[in-house]
Structure 1
Amino acid sequence: MISSVPEEFASVLWWRAGGFAAAVQYLEMDWPGDDGREQRVSVTSLSEIQDELARAIEAGEQPPAFDLSGVPEQEGVPLAVKNLYYSILSNNPRYKYAYDFNAEVGPDGLLRCTVSYMPYRTGDYPDGFCGVEVDSLRSLIKVARDGLGQENIPIRITNLSLTVDDMNKALQQVGGGYLFCQLNRDGTAITVVPQGGLTLGEARARLAEIDELAEQVFQETVAAGMSQAEQAEALYTYLTQNVDYDFRYYSHPGEMPYESTTAYGALHNNLAICGGYAQAFQTLLEKAGIPCITVSGKAGGENHMWNMARIDGRWLYYDPTGDRGRADYGFLYCGVKGEALDRHTWDADWSNRLSEALFSL
């Protein structure tokens, strides 16, 4: 037994405590790294527990058991520690791979915490698990688009640098407002939920109809030989001239159909609010082979959606809602740089990262 004690400790223990008895006492202690042994940490405050929890979550490990004998007020500690977990994730959103948490004090007085990690962070996928590999935001979007006929698309995320928030925000580019895509609770699948009161099949059929409508507009609007900038402006002009704003959004929001928030409202009903304008423009530009994303933020203090498209190698902004009816007077937001969006506020860094991730050359 004594031979298993690290040399730097064994000699000191033997000399100070009188030999064999001290060596046995040493071996009965809980030392980190011993196979099968529970790691324990004595704490005197909640802040010490928080520091240790943050360290464990950062490393993707289970926290040690906490000896609370030095904590003055122990009643309600499990709930307080669970609130610490929420605080850690709030201050460090990249830790959201730690998707669940439990804290209990056992009969021995030790506080034991259990963190549930998404398998992509720990590699702990269930035996026999099969999922489409996802190594980037681009591949995540492709997998989602290819699997829109399923309610759950199993995935295996292989890139540890991907964050839960970024993946869920990127998935907002999929589904055209009729299919809502997001990671499931443990990050092993993309869930696909129909919107607007439709079934999954009806939502897919609606997206197919939007695609047909966009193709028709593209064929009627874009002429051979047009440059990318000319194609984008022609399609932008079509939207701003032919689509009216659905002012029921302000006057009678309960009467406004869901369609007005989608490209279907813009391309079929010629009536939409900002989401419909932006998604319609994105769909039209895709017909032209022009990379485009929707951008969410605020304009004049109100929630708003517009577009960012790569024209001749440059990423520029378009706000067809803001320019509706202005074709004869001159557009304000047609193919402009971010500085021109003086009424808009948005996470420009995220838009830049997403656009480059999805459409990098």
Structure 2
Amino acid sequence: MVDRGERIPLAERKRRAKVHISDLKKDIKMKAKGKGNRAVQLLIILLILGVFAQNSGMISKMNKLLGQSETTVHEIYDDTAVIKAYKTGDTSGLDEKDLFVHDKMSEVIKKLITDDMSPYEKEKAIYDWQVKWTSYNDQSLNPIVAGGSETHTPYGVLRSHNAICVGNATTFKLFMDALDIPCKIIHSTQNGEHAWDVVQLDGEWYHVDVTFDGGVSGEPGYNYFNMPDSVKDNGSYPWDHDEIPAANGTKYCYMLTSAAALNDMYEIPAQLKQAINGDKTMLTFTLKDNSGFTRQIAEYICNSFPIDNGWVGFADAYSLDGQTVYKYTIERYENGGGEIPPEVLSRLDEAIADANDGMIAGAAQ
């Protein structure tokens, strides 16, 4: 999932379009191999131009859905009253909405949290639950269109199962405050609005971005779970470092703790294939011998593994706890309407094939 109340960075949009077009070119060349007639060549040109236009349209649509109104900045919910009521057991001072938030929060904590859990285990339990509970609500991104949507608040999130970035951040903080885990919200508005959290575990701070999790169908992807500044501070959504404590923790950094230890780059393909088959959304790894491993090779490897309804991309290399950790992102596009019935797919494939045959016939005349 790509994030935001919030606009997709231009570099990321260009990279995605480039990957899609590159993959399409390869696929078309394979299908056209040995068919040197002009009609097929013309079809290749038309399809490449078509997919470029499609990607441009897709990017425009995604920005429309994900792009926060330039003039709208959501207010950050104050959970003081709810947390006080939770700690004291006195809910008499809560209004109707805060009482709902209190009761739902209490229900979730009672179900998930036990006294013998460590702060990290409590944090991860809440994180996993919240990813499963919420889905990114594109209808609430523009208040003018969505009207009274409250998915920027814990009430809206807990009531509707939907959240925008501010709702994710405030809801996660609500739980952390209830569990006495230090937590702050970063509310970035310079490059469009985005919000996420930083949490303190064993005296060190980490970034937690539920919205950018990257998971599919409610299963967490952990793409931005407990990340240090060196990973999160990529310029997309700047924040005031004087107000937010430096996040330099690595002990609980998921990208580091889940990294596969590989001997050399020749072990990457098998590991990447395993991650793809396992429906993972991220592969991180270290290399005992990284000689010869360049970005060009990293991208060559990921381009060799096309996946249905998605793509694989090489993110970057990060220095974490004295180690170089490499990251691949495995993006899958979810069908918001559920699975397409097989009989519908079959008829659509026939219609698409007939249309393509007609285009070839017309070009040959």
The alignment's TM-score, normalised by the length of structure 1, stands at 0.39
Greater fraction of residues in strand = 1
Give the structure, 1 or 2, with the largest relative contact order (CA under 8 Å, sep 6 or more). Answer: 2
